[in-house]
Structure 1
Amino acid sequence: MTWVRKRFRASVGALEHVVGGLGTAVLALGTLFWLVIVAILSLVGIGLPAAHDALRALRSVADRERGRLTRWGPPVLEPGPVPAGLKATIKDPFVHRELVWLPLHAVGGFLLGVFGLTIPLYALQDITFPLYYRLLPPDAAPGIVWWRTESMPDALLVALLGLGWVVVAILAGPMFARIQAASGRWLLSPPPGIDLSMRVAELTATRAAALDAHAVELRRIERSLHDGTQNRLVAVNVLLGAARRALQRDPVLADEILGRAQDAAEQALAELRTVVRGILPPVLDDRGLSGALDGLAANCAVPCRVEVDVQSRCAASVEATAYFVVAESLTNVVKHSGATGVTVSVRRERDRLHVDIEDDGRGGADEGQGSGLAGIRRRVEALDGRLTLTSPPGGPTRMLVELPCGL
C-alpha cells in the first residue's frame, strides 16, 4: 500500500511538472516564431532593431523554465538579464545555449506535455463512460475504442480501458517529466567554468544572509530577555529586599511580598522557557517534526490539516527551520488571511525537504508589509534553501519552501 501511495503521489507530481513544462513550451513556441521572423527580416536589415528585444524575450522564457526546474529538483542558476547591446548579447554564452534549447523545448516539450496531459484525460473520460454512454450514439465511443457501446457491459469494457490508462499514467508520467526537463537541465545550466563562479557568488550571498539571520535572531533573544525575563528578575530582587526589611516589623506584609516575589519568579521562568523554545523547540527532540507540526496544527485557530511524509530524521537545523516556517506561516494565516482552512504538506525527496503551506484566504501577501515573510525568507536562505510565494489578490496563498537536508 505504501508503494502504491508513493507511486500515485509521484505520478501526480509528474503531471504537475508536465503541465508546467507545457506552459513554458507554449511560451517557447511563440518566442521561436518571433525569433524566426526577426531573423528573416534581419536578412534585409529591417529586423535588426527588434533582435535585442527578441533575445530578451528568449532569456525571460528560459528563466521561467529554470525556475520551474529549480522548484522540481536541483537548482538551475539564472544568469541574470541579457547584456546591453545586440553585439554583447550575441556573444553571451548563455544566449548560445538558450538558442539551442528553444526549438528542442518548443517542439519536444510541447509534444510531451500534450501527450502527458492527454493520458490522464483519457483515463478520466473512459472510467466515467458508464455514467454517460446512454447520451451518445453507439458509434461515438471515446478515445481509441473501436467497438460499439450499446450496453452496460460494453461501457464497462471502456471503463476497464480507462483503468489501463491510469496504470500507464502512473508508470510513464515520471518518465515523461524527466524527458521533458532533460533539455533544460542540459542546456540552461551555466556553461563549464561559469557554473563555479556563479555558485561562489550565490554562496557568498547565502553566507551574508545567514549572518544577517543570525544577527536578527540574537537581537530577538536579547530583546526577549531584556524586556521580559530581566524585568521580572529585577522585580523579584526588589520584592525580596522589601520582604527582608518588613520581616521583623510586619511578618504578614513580608509573607504577602514573598508571595508576589514567587509569582514574579514563576513568570520569569515561563518567559525564559519561551525564549529557549524559540532557539530550538524541545518538542522536535521529543516528538520529531511530524509530532511538532501536529502540535502547531492543534493550537491553530484556523482548521489546519498536516501531511508529513518524512521517513528519516533531518538535521536539527533543518527541522527547526521547517518548524519555524510553519509556525510563522500559521500565525500569518490567523492574523492576516481570513482563511477558513490551511493545509501543510511536508515531504522529503532524496536530499531535499519540501514544505508546502496553502490557505484559502484573501491572498495579497506581500513581503514588504512586515508580515514576517521577510524573516521566513532569511531563515530559509540561511540554510541555502529556496522560498516561492504565490498569493494573488483573492487567494489562495501558497508558500513552497525547499531545504537541503543531505542524503
Structure 2
Amino acid sequence: MTALGQLAGGLGTALLALVVLGWLALSAVACLVGVGLLMVPAALRVLHALAARERDRLARHGFEIVAPDPPPVRLRSAVVDPTTRREVGWLAVHATYGLALGLLGVLLPIAAVRDMAFPLLWPVAPDATSTSLGFGTAHSWPQAAAVSLLGLGWIAVLLGFGPGMARLQARPALRLLAAGPHADLSLRIAELTATRAAALDAHATELRRIERSLHDGTQNRIVTVTLLLGAARRMVTRDPAGAEELLERAQTAAELALAELRVIARGILPPVLSERGLAGALSGLAVQSAVPCRIDVDLAQRCAASVEATAYFVVAEALSNVAKHSAATQATVTVCVRGSRLLLRIEDNGRGGAGEAGGSGLTGIRRRVAAHDGSLRLTSPDGGPTVLEVDLPCGS
C-alpha cells in the first residue's frame, strides 16, 4: 500500500510536470518573438516550486534529498545555472517516464478490482462487456470465472513489482534534484551546526533538570534519613520508644527518596520503552492522559533507542500541553514508519492558538527533535484543531 501511495503521489506531480514542461516549451518558442521573455521568470518559479514539492514528497517516503541553493529565475542566469538545467532534465523525465509508472500504479489496482468482481457483474452486463484491459469478452461462467484469475494476477504484479516501480519513479529525482557537486553546501553545514548546538543545549538542559531534582529532592531526603538514624542510635538505650519513632520516620524518608529516584530514572529513559516498545509505552501515556486519547501505532520495525525516547517524550509533553492549555475533549496520537522516517501526529479538538511562547514546552520539544535532525510542524488556528507533526529519522 505504501508503494501504491507513492506511485499515486508521483502521478500527481507527473501531471503537474507535464503542464510545466508545456509551459516552458511555449515560453521558449515565444522567446523567438520576445513575448516569452516575460513568461520565463514565472515558468521558472513554478519549475523550482514543483521540484521542491517533489523533494518534500519523497522525503515523506524516506528518500532524503539535500536541496541545493535557491536557483535563479532570470533567463540569462538560468541558462547557465546547473541546478536549473538538472531540474529541467528531471521535469522531462518525470513528465513521461514518471507519468507512465504513476498511471500503472493507479490503473492496475482498478483493473484488479474490476476483474476480481467480473463474475458478479457479468450476468447483468451487456453482451459486449470485456475484461478490464480488453482481453476479449466472456460468454460462459467458466470464462467469467477465469477473468477473476486475471485479477489475482494483477494483484501479484502489484505486490511483486510495486515497490520496485516506486523506486524507479523516484530515481530521476534522487539523481537530478539533489545538490550536485557544484552546489554550495554551506546552508546544510550551517543547519547541521545548528542541530548539533541544539543537541548540546538539550543535553545540558536535561543534566540541569536531573541535578536539580537530585539536589532539591532526593539529596535532602537522604540527609534527613542520615540525621534520623544518628538520632535514633543515640536514643536507643535511654528512650527505645522515641528511637522506634525516629526509625519509622527514617524509613518513610528513605521510601520517599527511593520513589523520587525511580521517577528521575524514568525521566532519563523510561523502562517501559525497553520492556514494551514504543507502542506499549504510548498506550500507557494514553491511559494516564487527563484528556481521552486514542493511539494508532503502525510500526513494522524498532527504531533506535534514542529516537524512541524522543518520540515518547514528545508525545508525553504534547499530551500534557493538551490537558493544561487546550480545553480539549479528545486527542489522537498517530505513529507510523515511512521508509527510514518515524512520523508522529498529535491532534486535539481544543480551542487552538498554541504557540512556543508562554512556557508551553514546545521549545523543548523542538530542541529534542532538532537534536536528531528531525522536523516539527505546528498548526493551531484559533478555534482549533491543533495538530503537531514530528518527523524523525529511525536510525539515529
Superposition deviation, residue 83 in structure 1 = 4.5
TM-score, with length taken from structure 1: 0.77
Whole-angstrom CA distance in 1 between matches of 2:186 and 2:150: 53
Structure 1 window deviating more from structure 2 (389-398 vs 156-165): it is: 389-398
Q: 1:243 to 1:165 in 2, by over 3 A?
A: same
Q: Does 1:112 align with 2:101?
A: yes
Structure 1 window deviating more from structure 2 (207-216 vs 248-257): it is: 248-257
| Other-structure match for 1:332 | 318
Structure 1 window deviating more from structure 2 (194-203 vs 127-136): it is: 194-203
| Other-structure match for 2:34 | 45
- The letter of the residue matching 1:161 is L
Q: Does 1:26 align with 2:15?
A: yes
Whole-angstrom CA distance in 2 between matches of 1:399 and 1:125: 38
1:360-371 → structure 2 map (5 Å cutoff) = 361-362=348-349, 368=356
Superposition deviation, residue 240 in structure 1 = 6.0
SS of equivalent to 1:18 = helix
Q: Does 1:209 align with 2:198?
A: yes
Q: Could you list the runs of 5+ residues in structure 2 that have no partner in the other structure?
A: 288-292, 323-327
**Which is bigger in relative contact order (C-alpha 8 A, separation at least 6)?**
2
Whole-angstrom CA distance in 2 between matches of 1:81 and 1:213: 31
Q: 1:49 to 1:246 in 2, by over 3 A?
A: farther
Give the conservation status (yes or no) of the 8 Å contact 2:112–2:155.
yes
Q: Does 1:268 align with 2:257?
A: yes
| Other-structure match for 1:401 | 392
Residue among 96, 119, 132 paired with 2:85: 96
Count of aligned positions: 381
Give the conservation status (yes or no) of the 8 Å contact 1:360–1:396.
yes
Q: Does 1:140 align with 2:126?
A: no
Give the conservation status (yes or no) of the 8 Å contact 1:281–1:320.
no
SS of equivalent to 2:33 = coil
SS of equivalent to 1:368 = coil
Whole-angstrom CA distance in 2 between matches of 1:345 and 1:26: 28
| Other-structure match for 2:283 | 297
Structure 1 window deviating more from structure 2 (269-278 vs 142-151): it is: 142-151
Whole-angstrom CA distance in 1 between matches of 2:184 and 2:168: 23
Q: Does 1:355 align with 2:373?
A: no
Give the conservation status (yes or no) of the 8 Å contact 1:52–1:86.
yes
Give the conservation status (yes or no) of the 8 Å contact 2:218–2:257.
yes
Superposition deviation, residue 114 in structure 1 = 1.3
Q: Could you list the runs of 5+ residues in structure 1 that have no partner in the other structure?
A: 1-11
| Other-structure match for 2:290 | none
Give the conservation status (yes or no) of the 8 Å contact 2:307–2:393.
no
SS of equivalent to 1:67 = helix
| Other-structure match for 1:14 | 3
Whole-angstrom CA distance in 2 between matches of 1:123 and 1:338: 42
TM-score, with length taken from structure 2: 0.78
Q: 1:87 to 1:236 in 2, by over 3 A?
A: farther
CA-based RMSD of the aligned residues comes to 3.8
**1:317-363 CA distance string (max 9 Å, x none):** x313213303532553576375476454458x6xx4x4244567549
- The letter of the residue matching 1:401 is L
Q: Does 1:386 align with 2:374?
A: yes
Superposition deviation, residue 127 in structure 1 = 1.7
1:70-85 → structure 2 map (5 Å cutoff) = 70-83=59-72
Give the conservation status (yes or no) of the 8 Å contact 2:310–2:369.
no
Give the conservation status (yes or no) of the 8 Å contact 1:322–1:355.
no
Superposition deviation, residue 76 in structure 1 = 0.9
Superposition deviation, residue 119 in structure 1 = 0.7
Superposition deviation, residue 161 in structure 1 = 1.2
- The letter of the residue matching 1:403 is C
- The letter of the residue matching 2:307 is T
Q: 1:27 to 1:264 in 2, by over 3 A?
A: farther
SS of equivalent to 2:342 = strand
Give the conservation status (yes or no) of the 8 Å contact 1:56–1:82.
no
Whole-angstrom CA distance in 2 between matches of 1:145 and 1:47: 44
Structure 1 window deviating more from structure 2 (156-165 vs 203-212): it is: 203-212
| Other-structure match for 1:277 | 266
**1:255-274 CA distance string (max 9 Å, x none):** 44543343232222222222
| Other-structure match for 1:65 | 54
- The letter of the residue matching 1:63 is A
Whole-angstrom CA distance in 2 between matches of 1:372 and 1:146: 61
Superposition deviation, residue 180 in structure 1 = 1.1
- The letter of the residue matching 2:283 is A
| Other-structure match for 1:319 | 305
Whole-angstrom CA distance in 1 between matches of 2:76 and 2:216: 60
Q: Does 1:309 align with 2:296?
A: no
SS of equivalent to 2:27 = helix
Whole-angstrom CA distance in 2 between matches of 1:160 and 1:109: 29
Whole-angstrom CA distance in 2 between matches of 1:64 and 1:200: 22
Q: 1:377 to 1:299 in 2, by over 3 A?
A: closer
Q: 1:146 to 1:80 in 2, by over 3 A?
A: same
Identity %: 44
Superposition deviation, residue 368 in structure 1 = 3.3
Q: Does 1:224 align with 2:213?
A: yes
Give the conservation status (yes or no) of the 8 Å contact 2:278–2:308.
no
Whole-angstrom CA distance in 1 between matches of 2:226 and 2:199: 38
Give the conservation status (yes or no) of the 8 Å contact 2:369–2:392.
yes
Whole-angstrom CA distance in 2 between matches of 1:303 and 1:190: 41
Whole-angstrom CA distance in 1 between matches of 2:83 and 2:336: 36
Give the conservation status (yes or no) of the 8 Å contact 2:69–2:183.
no
Residue among 180, 184, 198 paired with 2:173: 184
Q: 1:292 to 1:271 in 2, by over 3 A?
A: farther
Q: 1:196 to 1:404 in 2, by over 3 A?
A: farther
